[in-house]
A and B are shown apart, each in its own frame.
Chain A
Amino acid sequence: MMRTITICLMLLSVNITAQDLSAKEIIEKADNIMKGVTSTKSEMTITTVRPKWTRTMALKTWSKGTNNTMMLITSPAKEKGSAFLMKGKEVWNWVPSIERTIKLPPSMMMQSWMGTDFTNDDLVQQSSTVKDYTHKVLKDSTIDGRTCYKIELTPKEDAPVVWGKIYSWIDKKEFFQLRVEFYDEDDYLISVMKSSNIKVLGGKKIPTKMEMIPMEKKNQKTVMEYISIEFDIPIEDSFFSLQNMKRLK
């Protein structure tokens, strides 16, 4: 899921008059945008939608660089105070109800994160859309009234990627990634990620709503919405520690 957040942040608004960009350049330009941002602090809601129920969680996130992320669940009551620390490829979970910190073992990484359509592994996905894929521009298409590049991303042979292919729709003017389709190795569509609700938040124009829709299951999706976001705020490295996880507010 951090990957998703990162992708979203990477594609923050910039005005590049792109005319004849290569596929790699398009992805790269989007990727480069993040280089300016050193840290973020945000509040968001994550809603899990299932045929018979929906459940909304509120959380706060802090990130610094690409290797330090902290998340704190603020509602619902049962999970309030639960915190996640992601450092590199490792995930720790502080559980206030039992007053224990758990490091998620490999066997848990492919399981659902907090009952959503994201896996624990999605929290720490480190593949790079620039380095780990080869890119190809396909025919332009329109999403939500915006003209988009459609780019095909094929993973390189030794890339740490579970997908067989990814299609990405990137807004031609402002480089928002508005739609991503994830295919497995048999060219079977596994999930779709949509971004929408583009507005100014924390001084930047970004898509503030993301939907992750798994294709195998009917009437199921996970929706993330930013409530607020701040960029380039000062955060100490020591903030991202196991001790601090327990003190977060």
Chain B
Amino acid sequence: MLLKLAWRNIWRNKGRTVITMMAVMIAVVLSILMMSAKEGVYAKMIESMILNMTGHAQIHQVDYVDEQMLDNSLSLSEDLVNDLNESGLIKGWAPRIQTGALVFKDSTSNTISKNAIVMGIDPDKEAEFISLKEHVTVGEFITNEDNQVMLGEGLAERLKVKVGDSIILVSGGYHGSQAYGLYNVKGLVKYGSPELSNGVVFMPIKEAQWMYSLDSMCTNINIILKDESVLEESVSELNNILSGKILVRDWKELNPELINMIETDRVEGYIFMFILYMVITFGLFGTMLMMLSERTREFGVLISIGMKRFKLASVVWMEMIIISILGVLVGIAVAFPICYYFHSNPIQFGDEQAEMMADYGMEAVLQFSIDPSIFLTQAMIIFSISSVLALFPFRKLLKLNPQEAMRV
């Protein structure tokens, strides 16, 4: 009954209602778009990081945490392999050797060189991770039997190396040994962030183990979990199973800088949203005051003919809530298709912007997020603001003097 009254009251003054709704709607659309874009960027960064670099979790030798050097490599023992294969938590795992080398183009003078990340990978096991095969742009993907390597496109360009040419790798190996390698380039990959593509060499893990004198060791084992939503639980259980001199850490622990960066950026977004909502709050408050003064006489009459103050106040409170909810719903209705569109059709940046983003180590793609929590958060915020605001007319009506009110 009261709800019906409130609903009818709203539409008595359509203009005011629509304007208030619009204000709420615009705020909701703006913050949703902003959050969706930001969350989309974060999600992309995290995804690319998980697939390209760390996996959901990584296994190291304990000392590797403090000193990421080959001397702190991990032995890929039979027990460990069995444990990994038998664990019900793991969808896939792959050992890697992640280190560096100076890469030369093999020529008579050997004068062109560049520092690069060397990734010793097990091509078969990597299937669960990045579909590296799809990232091969020229030439072919390496296999476990090869003694050839793949280069990042950017690196090949800088070294002026083509598929079929040879490169020389120079680095330090395990326990002070020297690591030298002469390899044929089998393929070029365009992979992950441009920063990585400009300085990465992929080689079969067996070759890397030989070159760096690592026997059957690796620097880390990347893990993809079956259920990502129980990340922390899975990781602590794996730590229990694999306890000993090795350590499993999830991607959040592995990338504190990334998490930090995202958090800082998020806070910036919140500040912007806060300002936006401050404006909306005053807008709503203004409309409310106007409504109150316009309807003072009406309220006076209603109270004097016996309408309970509390019921009347509730009606007015509901009106405010309904207007905000409508605004939020319309806002979501407008924002969702936009987010959805840019989610399924990510924005590709032009060359210039792409280069700029490359400098920050990001892919030049903006994919919006359609995480439901974004939409829910907006609804919750607007709902809370208007509920609190609506307490003002509520209080005022409880104190209203009908005689004075009717004289207005």
Interface residues of A (CB under 8 A from B): 48, 50, 52-53, 55, 76, 78-79, 82, 93, 95, 97-103, 105, 107-108, 111-112, 114-116
Contacts and interface: CB of A to CB of B under 8 A. Distances in A.
Contact of B71 (A50, A79, A116): A50
B110 interface: yes
Interface stretch (B51-59, B173-181, B185-193, B334-342): B173-181
B176 A48 contact: yes
Contacts of A114: 172, 176, 178
Interface residues of B, number: 20
A152 B104 CA distance: 42
B168 A107 contact: no
A79 B168 CA distance: 16
A116 B176 contact: yes
B148 to A, nearest CB: 14
Interface in B100-147: 102, 104, 106, 109-111, 113, 115
B182 interface: yes
B113 A107 contact: yes
B177 A78 contact: yes
Contacts of B181: 98
A100 B182 contact: yes
Given A53-B71, A79-B177, A115-B177, 13 more contacts: A50-B175, A53-B176, A55-B177, A79-B178, A98-B168, A98-B180, A98-B182, A100-B106, A100-B168, A105-B111, A105-B113, A114-B178, A115-B175
Identify the 9 closest CB pairs spanning chains A and B, nearest first.
A115-B176, A98-B182, A55-B176, A95-B180, A53-B175, A105-B113, A48-B176, A98-B180, A115-B172
Nearest to A103: B110
Given A98-B181, A101-B110, A50 B176 contact: yes
B213 interface: yes
B172 A112 contact: yes
Contacts of A97: 180
Contacts, number: 59
A82 B182 CA distance: 15
Interface in B254-289: none
B49 interface: no
B213 A78 contact: yes
B71 A107 contact: no
B357 interface: no
B102 A108 contact: yes
A115 B111 contact: no
A53 B176 CA distance: 9
Most buried by A among B106, B175, B178: B178
B246 interface: no
Contact of A102 (B115, B170, B213): B170
B175 A107 contact: no
A111 B115 CA distance: 12
Contacts of A101: 110
B104 A102 contact: yes
Contacts of A99: 182
A59 to B, nearest CB: 13
A108 B178 contact: no
Nearest to B115: A107
B80 to A, nearest CB: 20
A100 B172 contact: no
A102 B110 contact: yes
Nearest to B63: A52
11 contacts: A50-B175, A53-B175, A82-B178, A98-B182, A100-B182, A102-B168, A103-B109, A103-B110, A112-B172, A114-B178, A115-B175
A108 B100 CA distance: 12
A243 B16 CA distance: 92
B113 to A, nearest CB: 5
Interface in B173-215: 175-178, 180-182, 213
Given A98-B168, A103-B110, A105-B102, A52 B176 contact: no
Contacts of B104: 102
A100 B110 contact: yes
Given A50-B71, A52-B71, A103 B111 contact: yes
Contacts of A78: 177-178, 213
A52 B72 CA distance: 10
A225 to B, nearest CB: 17
A99 B178 CA distance: 15
Contacts of B175: 50, 53, 55, 115
